[in-house]
Structure 1
Amino acid sequence: MRLKSSHLFALVIVGLVGLYFIVGALTGGGDHAPATAKAADDTATVQAKVSPEVSREYTVVIRGRTEAARSVVVRSETSGVVAQTPAVEGSVVRKGAVLCRLAVDARQATLDQARAALRSRELTRQATMELAKKGYRSQTQVLQDQANLDAAAAAVRQAEIALEQVNLRAPFDGVFDRREAEIGTYLSPGQACGTVIELDPILVVGDLPETEAGRFAIGAPATATLVSGEKVSGKVRYVARDADAQTRTYRVEVLASNPRLAARSGLSAEVRIGAGVGPAHLVPVSSLVLDAAGRQGVRFVKADGTVGFSPVSVMEETSEGVWVRGLRGAVKIITVGQSYVGEGQKVRVASAR
């Protein structure tokens, strides 16, 4: 009996389907792939570079500003009309230089009168001493004339001080920064002639975050780069113990040498303060990432081939990379693929180029 062509075609189809399943079972194909293949598909490939631990000076960088080391408003101790203003506003003045001079008025005459009275008392005392030696004056009279002489000497000193007070002088070497009185101005006791500021040395002040305030000690070295490009160096002279209520920062003051007075008061500055020596690692800038909590850090490969994360603090940026602290020992930093892996994930490591 001969098979029809349609029956023959159906038998061929059934045979091919059966052959497919037999071959799949023998070769392990289909959906039953080995578990090792699946695990290989889940293992990410990253590049990593070993960063050794080195000792490096810790430097904290903050924004700051320059201030005069001292600023004094020179005020009159007596009353009078300003007769002269020898110091030019904005000029450098030495300690004792006259900034404003009041009219002498009757002060010189008062001094001359006091000196004349002193000479008279000296002559009287001398005559009394001679007479006392001869028995014509008592010891009480001698003591009285001595007291009168002392009073006359005190009156001379008082008149000399009153005359000197017409000269309003600079209290220290500095800059006569601002004039408050001109010729003809009447000054009462306590009124200002002008302001003197000291710029050598100069202060560079800034605000330390509370996480860094405890790292510094008085005398720590510091360097400030001013907005003008000028650089000044000095040492920390003061770190506040009480934080600012609004910013929760601590004021720090650096006393720096400024012999040419190139640094003015009020300039913005970048301040670098040394905070001792400690362990540090050099890592590429691109290796810095944020974890789920928003902390800045680096991802690295542990000894078991899994990914770890460590928060770090940036110490300094250089052309070779970023110096950070927070790591310990030699660390295999992930340099490529760090943004696509998570903590605890198994990875394959390829050497960084």
Structure 2
Amino acid sequence: MRLLPVLTAIVVAAALAVAILYRDALVAFANGASFEEAVEIAEGSAPPPAETEQPATQDPAAAPAETETPDAAAETQKPVGVVAIRSAAREIDGAVVLRGQTEAARQVEVRAETSGRVVSDPRRKGSEVAAGDVLCELDPGTREASLSEAQARLSEARASVPTSKARVEEAKAGLEEARINLNAAQKLSEGGYASETRVASATAAVRSAEAGLASAESGLSTVTSAIQAAEAGVASAEREIDRLTMEAPFGGLLESDTAEIGSLLQTGGLCATVIQLDPIKLVGYIPETEVDRVTPGARAGARLAAGGREVIGEVTFLSRSADPQTRTFRVEITVPNGDLSIRDGQTVEIGIEAAGAKAHLLPQSALTLDDDGTLGVRIVGAENMAEFVPVDVMRDTAQGIWLTGLPDQADVIIIGQEYVVTGVPVAPTYQEPTQ
């Protein structure tokens, strides 16, 4: 068994015993009594200072003063020293501020609609192109021969139309003649001047003429179908030849080189990427708490992160559907960019015009929360009592934060607001708002 733990336990027990037995003497000594007085208290020759004797003759009316009420304690509470500023509300524009990025007005990938070998010289990325400029051209191969063949078939089909129409007219005439002969034979047979054999022969002739007319009309229909098929073949061959040339759908810049000469492009192969930067779009996302303050057509300004250049435009699109992940709404601002100095994908700070309001510019450190978690500030109220005022954040800037919800004039506590609550007296020291 070790000796040190036993000795430590004995010392601690002795100290506790002394503290318990001579508690009054220790308290008196701690409160400023001399050593001799503490010894007398310990020996029981003097009462402890905490138990002061009451006067022999005590006024009964003074007895209640011994127990102080909470209100009296509050009245005698020492004011808490705080630092405050005298803030005055200012009228500011209610611009909705958000961060976003630039985006090309239009961007398209020009791809091949047919396969073939590139026979045109490439155009390099960064080049300006106008609508209709040739970007890529493919080797026609046998496509022109296919077009000639289709055109020959069309000509042949059209040439047979007069013959087919003549046959139809001839068949119609034969049918008319057969019907006349049948009518005559029937009348003669009724008068006894023609036999029934002649009537039957005339009837058969009519049936034969009708069949001939149907055959002629079928032949004409076949020729018409052949013409339509030949016309479709010609259109398909012409369209295939048109697909050999890929043109810029709109004016802009080449974001990539066009396909290199001699390369083989398959259907769907990329020829070039064209972007339009004039005008350019500024794209941002507005939180749902601010979306009702923005309307299409509103003026908007923006500052580019690179260089700090400022541009002006207007809102041209405000989404009606929120992003499911961020619950924000897409907004687009169109800005002129004639010199093409604004590039696609640059970061910008956007300010969209909205109704103005009165607000206080305060340091962010002045913000605090009450017991319910409400955001606000504490101010110096009547009779220098601390008060809590809920606020709304209007805008956050490098100089401070703009808050609404305060009276036009307010003494806002900026240091010490975390050590006071509503109703606590304060001793404010004021400093200039610009400090």
TM value normalised by structure 2? 0.59
* Aligned partner of 2:105 among 66, 69, 85: 69
AA matched with 1:99: L
Closer/same/farther in 2, CA of residues 47 and 147 from structure 1, 3 Å limit: closer
Report deviation, 1:124: 2.0
- Match of residue 338 from structure 1: 414
Q: Corresponding residue for 1:242?
A: 323
Q: Partner residue of 2:218?
A: 140
Residue of structure 1 aligned with 2:132, choices 96, 114, 119: 96
> Aligned in 2, Cα 1:297/1:160: closer, same or farther, shift over 3 Å?
same
Q: 1:249 to 1:304 in 2, by over 3 A?
A: farther
The Cα shift of 1:182 comes to 0.8
Q: 1:347 to 1:326 in 2, by over 3 A?
A: same
For residue 326 of structure 1, the aligned residue among 384, 404, 414 is 404
Aligned alpha-carbon RMSD (Å): 3.7
1:42 aligned residue (72, 79, 83): 79
Alpha-carbon distance in 1 for matches of 2:98, 2:405:
23
Q: 2:155 aligns with which of 116, 119, 126?
A: 119
Give, in angstroms, the shift of residue 332 of structure 1. Answer: 1.5
- How far apart are the structure 1 equivalents of 2:141 and 2:251? 30
Q: Deviations 1:262-313 (Å, cap 9, x if unpaired)?
A: 2111111112234x32532143x45851326798754433345423344441
The alpha carbon displacement at 1:252 in A equals 2.4
Q: 5+ residue gaps in structure 1?
A: 1-34
Aligned to 1:19: none
Secondary structure of 1:203's counterpart equals: strand
CA contact (8 A) 1:204 1:255 kept: yes
Maintained 8 Å contact 2:295/2:315: no
SS in 1 for 2:355: strand
Offset, 1:181: 2.3
User: What CA distance in whole angstroms lies between the structure 1 residues aligned with 2:260 and 2:358?
Assistant: 60
The match for 1:150 is 228
Rounded Cα–Cα distance in structure 1 between residues aligned with 2:82 and 2:240 = 89
| Count of residues paired in the alignment | 308
Matched, 1:197 2:275: yes
- Deviations 1:107-157 (Å, cap 9, x if unpaired)? 112112222322232222134335544559822322222222121111111
Q: 1:79 to 1:331 in 2, by over 3 A?
A: same
Q: Give the share of equivalent positions with the same residue, in percent.
A: 28
Choose between structure 1 and 2: higher helix proportion.
2
Larger radius of gyration: 2
Q: Give the Cα–Cα distance (whole angstroms) in 1 for the partners of residues 105 and 364 of structure 2.
A: 43
Inter-CA distance 50–67: structure 2 relative to 1 (3 Å threshold) = closer
Residue 69 of structure 2 is matched in structure 1 by none
Residue in 2 that maps onto 1:289: 366
Deviation at 1:106, TM superposition (A): 1.2
Cα distance, 1:316 vs. partner? 5.9
Match of 1:313 among 374, 393, 397: 393
The whole-number CA distance in structure 2 between the counterparts of 1:296 and 1:94 is 56
Shift of 1:314: 4.3
In structure 2, runs of 5+ residues without a counterpart are: 1-71, 174-212
Q: 1:295 to 1:62 in 2, by over 3 A?
A: farther
Instruction: Choose 340-349 or 160-169, whichever is displaced more.
Output: 340-349
C-alpha spacing 1:100/1:305, structure 2 compared with 1 (3 Å):
same
SS of the residue 2:366 aligns to:
strand
Letter in 1 for 2:425: K
**Which residue pairs with 1:25 in the alignment?**
none
Q: 1:57 to 1:236 in 2, by over 3 A?
A: farther
Q: Following the alignment from structure 1 to structure 2, what is the Cα–Cα distance between the partners of residues 80 and 124?
A: 37
Paired with 1:92 and 1:343, the residues of 2 have a C-alpha distance of 67
2:331 aligned residue (235, 253, 257): 253
CA distance in 2 between counterparts of 1:150 and 1:49 reads 89
Answer yes or no: is the 8 Å Cα contact 1:281–1:323 preserved in 2: no
